[in-house]
Structure 1
C-alpha cells in the first residue's frame, strides 16, 4: 500500500490560503519545480477536504481551472464531506468520514501516494496517525492572514524527520517524514 502525503505550497508566514480561502496569491508562485513534478507522477489518488474541493482555484479563469495540479494530474479523487452534491461529479467519490476516505483512497492509489489536499483534512490525518509524509513548498511571500498550514490548538508535538531540502525558482521545498 502507498503512503499518505500532504503536499502544499505555503507562504513564509505559514499560510496555505489567504483570507477567506483566497488562492490567487499562489498564481505567481506556480511554475517549474522538479520536486513537485516528480511527486505528481507518484500520486495514485487524492484525498481532498470539502472546503478545498469547493474553494478557490489559483487557475481561476484559465483552461486549467478545476483540474488537480492545474491539469498536471488526473485520477480518482475522494472528497471528505457530510453533504455530497445531488449531481455526481466525474472521477470524484464523496465520503462521509476520514477512515473510509483514507481506506478508499489507499485502495485506489495502490503503491502510489494518496495526496492530501486541505489543511483540515491534513490535521485530521495527523490526529488519526495516518499521515506518513509532508511536502511543503515555501513561497517567498508573507500573506499576513488566512488558512494556516496546520492549526492544532492544544495539540501534542508531532515529530518530523527531514527527507530532503531542495530549491526551485519560485519555492524552497521541505520534504518531511512523520516519525512514529
Structure 2
C-alpha cells in the first residue's frame, strides 16, 4: 500500500519558500542529488497543494519549469483545491477535499510513495493521521522569513523516528518516520 511522503528542501532556519512564496532562492541548491535520483522511481503519484501547483517555480525560465523534480518524474498528480478549474491538464486531477485526494493518490501510486508537495497539504495530512514519512533536504542558507516547513500556531509536538541521514554537496538530508 502507498505511503505518504513529504519531501522538501528547506533553509537552515526552517523555510521552504521565501516571503510571498518566493522559490528563487532554491535554484542554486537543485544540483545533482543521488538521494533524489533514487527516490524518483519510488514515487507513484504526487499530492499537491493549490498554492504549490500555481506558485513560484525555482526553475522559472529554465528547462524543467513547471515539471515535478525538474522533469525527472512523470505520473499522476492530484491537486487539492476548493477552486477546481473548468479544464484539467493531462495527468492532473483537481480534488475538492483532502480525504478524496489522498485516497485517489494512494490508489494511483500502488505500492509506491505518494509524494506531497506543499506545506499546507503536508500539515493537513499530518493532522489527519495520513502522513507516514518526512524527507527534508537542508540547504546551507538562511532566509529569515517565508513559508515554514511546519507551522502550527500555539505549537504541536510531532514525534519522529530518524530513518537516515545523508550529505551531498548541495544539502544534508534527514529522513524520518512519523510516529
TM-score, length of structure 2 as denominator length: 0.98
Secondary structure at the counterpart of residue 175 of structure 1: strand
- Deviates most, 135-144 or 32-41: 32-41
1:150 aligned to 2:150? yes
Say which SS state the counterpart of residue 28 (structure 1) adopts.
Answer: helix
Match of 1:97 in 2: 97
Q: Normalized against structure 1, the TM-score is what?
A: 0.98
2:11 matched residue in structure 1: 11
Structure 2: segments with no counterpart, 5+ residues: none
* SS of residue paired to 2:141: coil
Q: CA deviation at 1:35?
A: 1.0
CA distance in 2, matches of 1:136, 1:81: 24
Question: Which residue does the alignment assign to 1:22?
Answer: 22
Root-mean-square deviation over aligned CA pairs: 0.7
Match of 1:87 in 2: 87
Q: Following TM superposition, by how much is the alpha carbon of 1:154 offset from its aligned partner in structure 2, in angstroms?
A: 2.6
Aligned residue in 1 for 2:61: 61
- Looking at structure 2, the residues matched to 62 and 27 of structure 1 have their Cα atoms a distance apart, in angstroms, of 10
Moved over 4 A (4+): none
Note the residue ranges of structure 1 that are not aligned, 5 or more in a row: none
| Aligned-residue offset at 1:63 | 2.2
CA distance in structure 2 between the partners assigned to 1:60 and 1:156 by the alignment: 35
CA deviations on 1:141-175 (whole Å, 9 max, x unpaired) are: 00110000001113431110000000011100000
Q: Give the length in aligned residue pairs.
A: 179
